[in-house]
Structure 1
């Protein structure tokens, strides 16, 4: 999950009923990461996929 600085942190609630395997906090961007910071989103997706193998 890519979490922008303008989004409220939901990690503690997510961890209560899920096993978090990948989490990224970024310095810039907003709720619409694909439109606002596509470079960060693509980098995060690539990192996640590389961890699967």
Structure 2
């Protein structure tokens, strides 16, 4: 069905545990708050800095 939170996107309901694979944990990120907004994000494992525009 259509997503309420993300217009133009779709939602799915899974009612049986064997319908999906076991989830895999993704990357971790550190968010820098400058007092007004997040101004950059650092990828935790590599230290790569991603600019937020």
Q: Please, what TM-score do these two structures have when normalized by structure 2?
A: 0.18
Task: Specify which structure has the higher proportion of helix.
Answer: 1
Query: Which one has a larger percent strand, Structure 1 or Structure 2?
Result: 2
**Structure showing greater relative contact order (alpha-carbon pairs closer than 8 Å, 6 or more residues apart):** 1
Tell which structure's C-alpha radius of gyration is larger.
Answer: 2
Task: Give the TM-score normalised by structure 1.
Answer: 0.18
